[in-house]
Amino acid sequence: MKYAIGIDIGGTKSAIGLITDTGEVVAKTSIPTDPAVSPYVMVERIAASAMSLISESQIDTSLISGVGIGAPGPLDTRSGRLTVPPNLPSWHDFPLVQEMSRLFPFPVKLENDATAACLAEKWLGAAQDADHFVFITISTGIGAGLYMHGKLITGASGNAGDVGHFVIDPAAGECVCGQRGCWEYIASGTAVARQASEKLGREVSSKEAFDLAAAGDLQMKELVDQVFRYIGIGCVTLINTLDPQKIVIGGGVSQVGEPLFQAVQSYVSAHALNPIGRKTPIVPAALLQDAGLIGAAALVHTEY
Ligand code: ADP
Ligand code: ZN
């Protein structure tokens, strides 16, 4: 049995786990990603947490194959740096791989978090049978991982799949990237909460907006239907571009379940250009809880 140290760096917390080569999470912990603390200190905390997981689990370090890291983009996997991640302002241009390599006596691998989660779905999740698929995560933002011809598509610098910034409705407001009406600006969990709060004149979470729509609130139903349509539009663009065998959707908003998957499937069946594309299955991600950690570990345990 071999082990990987999986690290999933997020804007609010970072998860750290020990994962076997069959994908079992044997130990895990998480620490807050404190924006007031320098990333040099944060990585020391992360490494210390990983080392204590190893000693608590009494795993011989000779059994550890490496460290896999999933981190928010944009990044540059060629130099092992994060570049300008909007949710981690103090980490801009941070040499993550170099610093982790200084702290760990194991090889370190880095990919953006959606790409890593995509690999996890191929390894152990909803896309084990697919040689061509797209993984979309709809959460605070929208991201994707691309897997084509039996290989993970990372792009030249690890940023392939930044589909959250497809422009879907240029008449909508301005996104963090400076364009107007990006997919994540109008269809992420954050976008649902923002639009629902505007409509109802009070603070509404994305989950509450979906719940109100399901309970028959007309205003919320109109919003949610529009969001499902936007998700459908993005899926059709991906199907027309990449011709995947399936699309796997994860992230907080995918918890909405059946209504979302039905609406998106129906949009795709009406609007994808080619008849095969119209039948592309749109399925929920299988790895929910530990997708980030398993994806990070997959960078170590699998060939991609
Ligand atoms: P992160 O973006 O940090 O990876 P999540 O994948 O949990 O986190 O996504 C968080 C987003 O998903 C938030 O906008 C939240 O409102 C939304 N969300 C989480 N759970 C649900 C749910 N059950 N129904 C609808 N939206 C949800
Ligand atoms: Zn954008």
288 confidence band (pLDDT: 50, 70, 90): confident
Which ligand 1 atom is the nearest neighbour of the CA of 192?
A: 14
* CA–CA distance, 228 with 287 (Å, rounded to integer): 22
Tell the residue nearest (CA) to atom 3 of ligand 1.
140
Q: Is the shortest distance between the CB of 289 and ligand 1 below 6 Å? A: no
Tell the residue nearest (CA) to atom 25 of ligand 1.
207
Tell the residue nearest (CA) to atom 5 of ligand 1.
252
Model pLDDT for residues 226-284, shown as the tens digit of each residue: 999 999 999 999 999 999 999 999 999 999 999 999 999 999 999 999 999 999 999 99
CATH node for 128-284: 3.30.420.40
First to last CA, the chain: 20
Domains 3-117+290-301 and 128-284 share a fold: yes
Rg (CA), the chain: 19
CATH node for 3-117+290-301: 3.30.420.40
Domain spans of the chain? 3-117+290-301, 128-284
* CA–CA distance, 169 with 181 (Å, rounded to integer): 5
Model pLDDT for residues 84-132, shown as the tens digit of each residue: 999 899 999 999 999 999 999 999 999 999 999 999 999 999 999 999 9
* CA–CA distance, 221 with 224 (Å, rounded to integer): 5
253: CA distance to ligand 2 center in Å? 18
* CA–CA distance, 128 with 121 (Å, rounded to integer): 7
pTM of the model: 0.97
User: What sign does the dihedral 87-92-176-236 (CA atoms) show?
Assistant: negative
